[in-house]
Amino acid sequence: MNGVRSHRRPVAVCAVFASLLILLWRTRADDAKPQPIKLPGIENAFRVTPQIIAGSQPQDGDAFAALAKAGVKTIISVDGQRPWVEEAKKYGMRYVHLPVGYDGIPLARIAELTRAAAPGAGKLFVHCHHGKHRGPAAVAVICEAITHWTPAQAEAWLRQAGTADDYPGLYRAVREFRAPTAEQLAAVGAFPEIARTPALVDAMVAMNEHLDHLKAQQRAGWSAVSENPDRHPAHIATLLHEQLRELAPTDDTAKRPADFRRLLADSEHAAAALRESLRVLRFDSAVIDRALKQTEQSCTACHKAHRNESK
């Protein structure tokens, strides 16, 4: 009997400790709405609460310097991309990498986000890639857990941040929020600076970056073409096409529905046409724009149907 009691005591102590943390973390809900702020190298930046800033992935050292100046101590990334851990450390900040999908936030991840936002973490910066979808959803469940935001407040924040209706799982995560229990909080382990992500996720992150680069070139009228061959739009389009082509024969793709493979093939063909339109000596902007639009639409169709939740 003594052995049984001594075995259970640490678990009970952890549960009590976690319960006290919940009471400590849950302050009065701040009636003030999140306010947009300007931070260099960060898009869609908001001061959500006095302790939480949200936005896009930091783009450069100036962005990390601005976050440090704002008092941020912990950066929580819910994006699949590898965080820039060493740059954050230069400015005295640590990274916690807890990627989430576009289809929602599972309860186990909500418990991890809640623990990661404990008072000892200091002021937080929470980000995804663009700062519009997964990041705001993570901020919403943190605020529901810690500051007693209502689901209505959380959904209003998603609208304010620009979270698209194309991601119903993210909206459902805040509408159907359930606070993690003391036991679930106590079970959370050490936080990774860089989480392991599936190969398909890594590929999608990289492809999204390539499309962002090409769209930036498009906004410049294809007139600001980089002299660096690694950043030339034709090379970026080639990388995009190659990634799509290399996904086709993988085991992960083979396990997926036929519709996924068809949409992946459509995206590959569109990217090939885009690549060819950018390889000519004299750019025809109209042709390139059409090819880029087709590529983006093909990728979005696959993304919406199979990475997000379509119903």
The pLDDT value given to residue 39: 97
The string over 149-165, giving b where at least 16 C-beta atoms fall within 10 Å of a residue's C-beta and e elsewhere, is: beeebbbbbbeebebee
The pLDDT value given to residue 26: 46
Rounded Cα gap, residues 112 and 86, in angstroms: 22
pLDDT greater at residue 168 or residue 18: 168
Give the mean model confidence (pLDDT) for residues 98-107.
89
Rounded Cα gap, residues 68 and 273, in angstroms: 44
Question: Is the confidence at residue 1, as pLDDT, over 50?
Answer: no
pLDDT in tens, 185-234: 999 999 999 998 777 777 777 888 889 989 988 888 776 665 666 778 88
pLDDT in tens, 63-93: 999 999 999 999 999 998 889 999 999 999 9
3-state secondary structure of 271: helix
Q: Of 210, 201, 203, whose CA–CA distance to 101 is shortest?
A: 201
The pLDDT value given to residue 240: 87
Question: Is the confidence at residue 44, as pLDDT, over 50?
Answer: yes
Mean pLDDT, the chain, rounded, equals 85
Cβ atoms < 10 Å from Cβ of 127: 29
242 Cβ neighbours under 8 A, 6+ residues apart: none
Rounded Cα gap, residues 310 and 308, in angstroms: 6
The pLDDT value given to residue 308: 54
The pLDDT value given to residue 37: 97
Edge-to-edge strands of the sheet including 123-127? 35-36, 46-49, 52-55, 123-127, 72-77, 94-97
The dihedral sign for the CA sequence 197, 158, 112, 192 = positive
Lowest mean pLDDT among 22-36, 87-101, 174-188: 22-36
- Which stretches of the chain are DSSP H helices? 2-25, 61-69, 85-90, 107-116, 134-146, 151-161, 168-175, 182-186, 199-219, 233-247, 251-255, 258-278, 285-302
Confidence of residue 154 (pLDDT cuts 50, 70, 90): very high
The pLDDT value given to residue 227: 64
246 Cβ neighbours under 8 A, 6+ residues apart: 203
The pLDDT value given to residue 278: 86
- Domains of the chain as residue ranges with CATH: 6-186 (3.90.190.10), 199-307 (1.20.120)
The pLDDT value given to residue 146: 94
The pLDDT value given to residue 307: 62
Confidence of residue 182 (pLDDT cuts 50, 70, 90): very high
Question: Between the CA atoms of 224, 229, 231 and 236, what dihedral angle is there, to the nearest 10 degrees?
Answer: 110
Rounded Cα gap, residues 261 and 265, in angstroms: 6
pLDDT greater at residue 152 or residue 254: 152
Question: Is the confidence at residue 27, as pLDDT, over 50?
Answer: no
Give the mean model confidence (pLDDT) for residues 173-192.
95
Give the mean model confidence (pLDDT) for residues 18-23.
47
| % of the chain at pLDDT higher than 70 | 86
Lowest mean pLDDT among 159-163, 183-187, 247-251, 263-267: 247-251
pTM for the full predicted model: 0.67
The pLDDT value given to residue 279: 81
Confidence of residue 304 (pLDDT cuts 50, 70, 90): confident
Confidence of residue 23 (pLDDT cuts 50, 70, 90): very low
